[in-house]
A and B are shown apart, each in its own frame.
Chain A
Amino acid sequence: MLARPGLPDFEYMKAESPQDVFRLLEERGGEVKLLMGGTDLFVQMRDGNESAGILLDLKYLPGMKDISYTKKKGIKIGAAVTLNQLSAHPDVTNHFQILSQSADTVGNYQLRNRATLGGNLCNASPSADMAPAALVLEGEVSLSGPDGERVMALDQFWVGPGKTALKEYEFMTAVCFPNPPSGAVGRYLKLGRSKMGDLAIVGVAVLGYPDPEVPAGIRFRIGINSTAPTVYRVPQVEELLAKAPLSDDILRQASGEAMKVSAPIEDVRATVLYQKKMVNNLTFKGLKEVWSQLINS
């Protein structure tokens, strides 16, 4: 019997109730690692960046793999729903198509049979591919702790690279998205080193919808990853776009502003300058595609 050389000893446990989780977190806090698909965690453990005394599997908790949709409230997606399940679910493809688009860009198909939405968001990677769409859809996460559930807007949830607002004894149970405004169209554009299978150098999600109240007649929301400590929206750019009748020039100007806001660091994938220019290009491309789709529909 061979145990992976180099991996420190750990126990594997399946949590059967939220109380199991709170109890273990309280008793053996520092040792416990919460586990979903493990596609982030295992690689970190393998490379010696993370260690665990207990791997606590949350996937089998009641409700963690459920998806429910209502016209009034929108969609609630259990944190343990895999990216392939999410991508193919009719309520997602019908009403939250940009989530499917985003899911399909993550790693590879085999990985997406394990990788979960909750894991992607809790990992708090600046390059998480589900995050830009989740932000423009104005998602909220449900967090469960010994004192009950609380709900938090996603833009409050990430506090830095790999850091979330989760408290010591808390875990994520689900992600909720309200129905997007009527007529909304969304697009997620990801640039990786290869067409498939790599992390984003830059990813941009654009959601656009008709809004007669603003001079542009259309409102946009823009979410960007990989170019700041957390995934972010660019409200000042969104405002600029709402203020004047739309034209290619305005879209270009807005994309340039997004580029100014972006704050990438040089990494193994790309230089700062390249990442900034790609924020500019992808934002323009995303805006243009969404705009064309809106005026043609």
Chain B
Amino acid sequence: MENTFAISVTVNGTPYQRSVDPRTLLSDFLRYDLGLTGTHVGCEHGVCGACTVLLDGEPVRSCLLFAPQVDGHEILTVEGLGTLDDLHPLQEAFRETHALQCGFCTPGILTTLLPYLEENPNPTEEEIREAISGNLCRCTGYQHIIDAVKLAAENMNP
């Protein structure tokens, strides 16, 4: 391929060097090039929040970024949170309170909440609703997600 862009990026702590077509969306790069399919792709217009990942610690839409833009940066995807045997307290809380049904929106919600709960250890229900207002969930009606965030906040900051 003639028009390629060389990128170095750290994803979930692992450094990667890849040559990409500049048109590759970050979401597609993560899913297809790195095989990290935990990042889901919903609306592809920046609305639904399913593709949220952390870029240098801040939540962003990976469908609104091209891969060359993350050259030299750090990404955290949902795979970087915990493992099946060792869930992150946030994931544990989601399981505990049944905060997911189909689970499509869950990775984006988890990555949105991770830095949020670090900065806001004791959010009120209103604040939680605002924190997840950029993430659409079509199954749960959000109530159990809110329960999960409350539980996670307690467990993360005992």
**Which residues of A come within 8 Å of B, CB atoms?**
1-4, 7, 9-12, 37-39, 42-43, 46, 55, 57, 84, 107-111, 113-114, 195-197
Contacts and interface: CB of A to CB of B under 8 A. Distances in A.
A110 B110 CA distance: 13
B115 to A, nearest CB: 10
A110 B60 contact: yes
A57 B69 CA distance: 9
Given A2-B28, A110-B59, A110-B134, A42 B23 contact: no
Given A109-B134, A110-B112, A197 B47 contact: yes
B141 interface: no
Contacts, number: 91
A160 B1 CA distance: 40
Contact of A196 (B22, B52, B60, B130): B130
Contacts of A39: 46, 61, 64
Contact of A197 (B44, B59, B133): B133
A4 B22 CA distance: 10
Nearest to A7: B23
A200 to B, nearest CB: 16
A107 B68 CA distance: 24
B134 A196 contact: yes
B134 A107 contact: yes
Given A37-B64, A46-B45, A196-B134, 7 more contacts: A4-B28, A43-B45, A43-B46, A110-B134, A111-B46, A111-B64, A196-B133
Interface of B: 1, 3, 5, 20-25, 28, 32-33, 44-47, 49, 52, 55, 58-61, 64-66, 68-69, 112, 130-131, 133-135
Given A9-B23, A111-B61, A1 B69 contact: no
A12 B66 contact: yes
Nearest to A4: B23
B65 A111 contact: no
B68 to A, nearest CB: 4
B32 A1 contact: yes
Contacts of B44: 46
A11 B59 CA distance: 26
A113 B59 contact: yes
Contacts of B130: 196
Contacts of B68: 12
A107 B46 contact: yes
7 contacts: A1-B21, A1-B33, A2-B24, A43-B64, A57-B69, A109-B131, A109-B134
Contacts of B1: 1
Contacts of B65: 38, 42, 114
Contacts of A107: 46, 134
B89 to A, nearest CB: 21
Contacts of A109: 59, 112, 131, 133-134
Contacts of A38: 64-66, 69
